[in-house]
Amino acid sequence: MQTITTTDDLQAFCDRAKGQPYITVDTEFLRERTYYSKLCLIQLALPGADVDDAVLVDPIAGENMSLEPLLALFRDENTVKVFHAARQDLEIFFIDHGVIPVPLFDTQVAAMVCGFGEQVGYETLVKRIAKQSLDKSSRFTDWSRRPLTEAQKTYALADVTHLRQIYEFLNGKLEASGRGRWVKEELATLTDPETYITRPEEAWKRVKTRSSSPKFLAIVRSLAQFREAYAQDKNIPRNRVFKDDALVELASTKPGNLQDLGRSRLLLREARKGAIADGILAAVKEGLECPRDQMPQMPKEKDRAQVNPALADLLRVLLKAKTENFGVASKLIAPASDLDAIASGERDVPALKGWRREVFGGDALRLCEGKIALAAKGKTVAVIDV
């Protein structure tokens, strides 16, 4: 197997890829000790079965290698870039190089549309489509250490070689069923740069709290913003600054000086002094001084009292019928929260838009309006016009 460590070799392989209908891509990376993922290895494969059709690109061993030939290929709209569960891979290329591969095909998304279940794993698809098994013994190795073992290289390459057969199978099914547009709709989020931008001022929305007090949330917002910005700047995991439970404790105790900070039960020792301590105290002060009209508000929860339980149950029956009819995972069409929202009168929900409306949402609205009924027909459920 070829391991590429020079720009010239990478350029030669990418030149071969030009004009190909697709190329399969995967990465190995580390993120346990950093905020941003550290790219350790890129796996690429062209259509075919020759030994030279699949390569490893090693940006660590080839520290002077430019990835521009690969980035140019990612921008080439004539070749489909095939990934499995692409989000983290795409985040690396966007954050490091500002590039999102197009056109994109994600076999995990396609597999859900083709009836393989919720978030189906690569190993499952290899078994069911390629009729092969994977050696996963190298899954949790340190991909930043060099040299790579032959076992690591074999494991890494398998993530793109079997992907060729999986892509061709799923793409064929989508073309036969006319569901390619469904996958394109699902991939819109993955190809949107906003998906990979983390703004410190919005970090508070991910912190779970029991209080909805605007003043309390103002302190949470300031603390979360400081933590996110500090973690990004130092490239360390946010929990290494302080964890969520410590953040909520600080928002409750409102420390005003280092002595107050020292009384925290949950704060890491390193956070009780220096730049982190100063940042915490400044964030608490900022939150306390936040003008009332600028304080954050928790999104209003759906009023459970507004949900028509009988209608919600009928929608679940309709969804099950549609799931069986179309062979698509139910949660991909409409999670339980969407069903409850529809039953409470909401109409701005994903289940009522795009391909989901064609499959389920249109009849869901007709059910709500009393225009259709559901009836048992043997082991299936039939939709009857009223």
Same-domain pairing of 222 and 361: no
Three-class secondary structure of residue 54 per DSSP: strand
In a domain, 218, yes or no: yes
Same-domain pairing of 188 and 208: no
Residue 304 has pLDDT above 70, yes or no: no
- The answer to whether the CB of 22 falls within 8 A of the CB of 2 is no
For 79, counting Cβ atoms within 10 Å of its Cβ (0-12 exposed, 13-18 middle, 19+ buried), the class is buried
φ/ψ of 104, rounded to 5, equals -115, 145
Q: Among residues 294, 315, 332, which one ends one of the domains?
A: 294
Q: In the predicted model, what is the mean pLDDT of residues 73-91?
A: 98
Q: Which amino acid is residue 71, in one-letter code? A: L
Q: In the predicted model, what is the mean pLDDT of residues 214-229?
A: 98
Same-domain pairing of 284 and 313: no
Lowest average pLDDT, out of 85-94, 113-122, 296-305, goes to 296-305
Same-domain pairing of 51 and 167: yes
From the CB of residue 39, how many other CB atoms can be counted at a distance below 10 Å? Answer: 22
Same-domain pairing of 21 and 167: yes
In a domain, 167, yes or no: yes
In a domain, 205, yes or no: yes
Tens of pLDDT, residues 31-48? 999 999 999 999 999 999
Q: In the predicted model, what is the mean pLDDT of residues 123-133?
A: 95
Nearest partner of 195 among 70, 53, 100, judged by Cα: 100
Question: In the sheet where 2-4 sits, what is the strand order?
Answer: 2-4, 54-57, 38-45, 22-30, 80-83, 104-106
- The answer to whether the CB of 269 falls within 8 A of the CB of 66 is no
**Percentage of residues of the chain with pLDDT beyond 90:** 88
Same-domain pairing of 139 and 97: yes
pTM: 0.90
CATH number of the domain that residue 282 is part of: 1.10.150.80
- The answer to whether the CB of 258 falls within 8 A of the CB of 248 is no
Q: In the predicted model, what is the mean pLDDT of residues 67-75?
A: 98
Q: Among residues 196, 213, 232, which one ends one of the domains?
A: 196
Torsion of CA 216, 217, 219, 221, to 10 degrees: 170
Residue 302 has pLDDT above 60, yes or no: no
Q: Among residues 142, 173, 196, which one ends one of the domains?
A: 196
In a domain, 350, yes or no: yes
Same-domain pairing of 164 and 277: no
CATH number of the domain that residue 309 is part of: 1.10.150
Q: What is the pLDDT of residue 311?
A: 96
Same-domain pairing of 75 and 167: yes
pLDDT tier, 377 (very low <50, low <70, confident <90, very high otherwise): confident
Residue 301 has pLDDT above 60, yes or no: no
In a domain, 56, yes or no: yes
Same-domain pairing of 158 and 48: yes
CATH number of the domain that residue 149 is part of: 3.30.420.10
Question: Strands 380-385 and 372-377, how do they pair?
Answer: antiparallel
Q: What is the pLDDT of residue 136?
A: 78
Number of domains in the chain: 3
Q: What is the pLDDT of residue 50?
A: 86
pLDDT tier, 140 (very low <50, low <70, confident <90, very high otherwise): confident
Residue 305 has pLDDT above 70, yes or no: no
Q: What is the pLDDT of residue 119?
A: 83
Helix-strand-coil percent breakdown of the chain, rounded to 5? 55, 10, 35
Residue 303 has pLDDT above 70, yes or no: no
Same-domain pairing of 215 and 90: no
Tens of pLDDT, residues 266-300? 999 999 999 999 999 999 999 999 999 999 987 76
Q: What distances in angstroms separate CA 381 from CA 140, 264, 364, 374, 376, one per listed residue? A: 45, 58, 14, 7, 5
pLDDT tier, 135 (very low <50, low <70, confident <90, very high otherwise): confident
Same-domain pairing of 40 and 162: yes
C-beta pairs of 60-67 under 8 Å, 24+ apart in sequence: 60/144, 60/146, 61/3, 61/5, 61/146, 61/147, 62/4, 62/5, 62/6, 64/7, 65/4, 65/5, 65/6, 65/7, 65/10, 66/7, 66/10, 67/10, 67/97
Q: In the predicted model, what is the mean pLDDT of residues 234-247?
A: 97
Q: How far apart are CA 121 and CA 119, in angstroms?
A: 6
pLDDT tier, 379 (very low <50, low <70, confident <90, very high otherwise): confident
Same-domain pairing of 73 and 124: yes
In a domain, 32, yes or no: yes
In a domain, 299, yes or no: no
Lowest average pLDDT, out of 43-47, 138-142, 336-340, 355-359, goes to 138-142
Torsion of CA 230, 233, 236, 239, to 10 degrees: 20
DSSP type of residue 145: S
pLDDT tier, 250 (very low <50, low <70, confident <90, very high otherwise): very high
In a domain, 364, yes or no: yes
Identify the domain containing residue 377 by its residue range: 304-385
